[in-house]
Amino acid sequence: MLFIVDFDGTIAPTDTVDALLERFADPEWQRVEEQWVTGQLNSQECMKAQLSLVRADRAILEDYLQSVAIDPFFSDFVQYASTFSEVAVVSDGLDYPIRHALQKPNIPPIPIYANRLEFRTHGLDISFPHTDAACVHQSGVCKCAAARALDAGRGLSTVLIGDGRSDRCIARSADYVFAKGALRRYCENEGITHTPFDSFDDILTVIRKWDAVQFNQLIRERT
């Protein structure tokens, strides 16, 4: 089994990128966001344009990005899920705050797929080491491609935990979906079977009841 876990709005209760832009970027970032929502820009174009509007000294930005809070039950989730499954953080957000947020002694090391944040003079830049040319939405991180890379042909059952637009594509192919926020509304509208959640405590309550037989039965019921 493989858990694909989103970060912003999922592991981190707030969206790290939006919070960063609200605090340090020219208000023009909101117009760029609207262009992305309406499909005028793809995800990569949107994030690159928005981060170019950030203005602050590196020390200030580092201090802010290292202070991101996460769900207090996430460490318990990773410790438990790792006993019977693989867990990876797959985010169309920024790698720097994710790596710092997960550098805690009670969180085992797990793979992180995210866009690479780069510091420049009085601002930020971004690159996309996990993009995929075949990605329909041209996301910075193609979550479907990341899931395939992590699976490496082993045929693992995939469990998605997410909250937003970047999770939509993989929600259609995952074997099981935990959804909150915009992803929950999308699953409801599209008829995608999912389990709603508010925190990782809710997810733990569900997966602690799973065993191989029960999970396989859940998969059959979804299909």
What pLDDT, on the 0 to 100 scale, is given for residue 222?
Answer: 57
Q: pLDDT, tens digit, for every residue of 136-180?
A: 777 899 999 999 999 999 999 999 999 988 898 899 999 999 999
The predicted pLDDT at position 219 comes to: 62
Task: For residues 136 and 89, give the distance between their C-alpha atoms in angstroms, rounded to a whole number.
Answer: 21
Mean pLDDT of the chain: 92
Coil, helix or strand at residue 90? strand
More confident residue, 70 or 137: 70
Report the SS3 class of residue 68: coil
Q: Which residue has the higher pLDDT, 136 or 99?
A: 99
pLDDT at 40: 92
pLDDT surpasses 80 at 34: yes
Q: What is the mean pLDDT of residues 192-217?
A: 86
pLDDT at 104: 84
Sign of CA dihedral 178, 182, 188, 191: negative
| % of the chain with per-residue pLDDT over 90 | 81
* pLDDT band, very low/low/confident/very high, at 133 (cuts 50, 70, 90): confident
For residue 134, give the H/E element and its range: none
Check whether 122 has a pLDDT greater than 90.
no
